[in-house]
A and B are shown apart, each in its own frame.
Chain A
Amino acid sequence: MTSRLSSVAADLAEQLETQQPTRLRRAAAGAVHLAVAHTGLAAPPLDAALAALREGRFGDSADRSAALRLADELDEIAWDLQERSEAGTGSQDAYLAAFGRARAAAAVGFALDADALTAALEALYEAQAAVADLGAIRAAVGSALAE
């Protein structure tokens, strides 16, 4: 299966493809929590979506839509900061932090996908982009799969 995750960690993507849905959900949740904690992202729509993740309410829902909408809004902020950074009127660090928060919100939204494999592949990809540390994501997934 071709995925965005396979572009940065083909072995991890292949490993996920052999896992049962319950383990895929654990892996996605582990990566999501790492991304949210790392970026310090906090917003009411996110709380509801994280509750849905904890409670296993997967698939299309208002909570999932709200998380993905939050990601879009955060992307708009990030792109504005990117333009400012390139124009020399803003900092690259501010842009990267905003980009990371957008990716963390997207990870939450994708983790709620109805399909467990899609949820894991996409949430892990977004999470590794959020934390800019593939090793940390590998460790979080390893812990989740070992439970």
Chain B
Amino acid sequence: MTSGVGVGRDTGYLRTVVGTSEPRGYLRPGVTLNPGEELATGAGHTEPNILDYISENGIEPIAAAGRPICARCEKMIDLAGAVRLTS
């Protein structure tokens, strides 16, 4: 199980998107979103879920972090134009 976070720019302000590798963005006990954070739902790896959410909502990706990020997801983040803050 992994979780991650992406940050993007949307018409002048930053949006923070949280995702997990579990179904529909399931959050483990004790994990909650901070005010303003958005949840990326989906299935599969965390990073594509976050990138899909960012793309679907017209957000410009800036940075992404998670641990560990697999090679395939690293490539997806790079192709999206975001900076990887973790590896």
Contact = CB atoms under 8 A, between A and B. Distances in A.
A78 to B, nearest CB: 9
Contacts of B26: 99, 103, 129
B23 A132 contact: yes
A7 B29 CA distance: 13
Given A7-B39, A79-B1, A96 B32 contact: no
A133 to B, nearest CB: 11
Interface residues of A, number: 19
Where chain B touches its partner, the secondary structure class is loop
Most buried by A among B1, B26, B27, B33: B26
Contacts of B21: 82
A7 B24 contact: no
A13 B53 CA distance: 24
Contacts of B32: 2-4, 6-7
A39 to B, nearest CB: 13
Contacts of B44: 86
Interface residues of B, number: 17
A8 B1 contact: no
Given A7-B39, A132-B24, A122 B1 contact: no
Interface in B1-52: 1, 21-27, 29, 31-35, 39, 43-44
Nearest to B22: A99
A125 B30 CA distance: 12
Given A3-B32, A129-B26, 16 more contacts: A2-B32, A2-B34, A2-B35, A4-B32, A7-B27, A7-B32, A7-B39, A8-B24, A82-B21, A92-B43, A96-B23, A99-B26, A106-B29, A110-B29, A122-B29, A132-B24
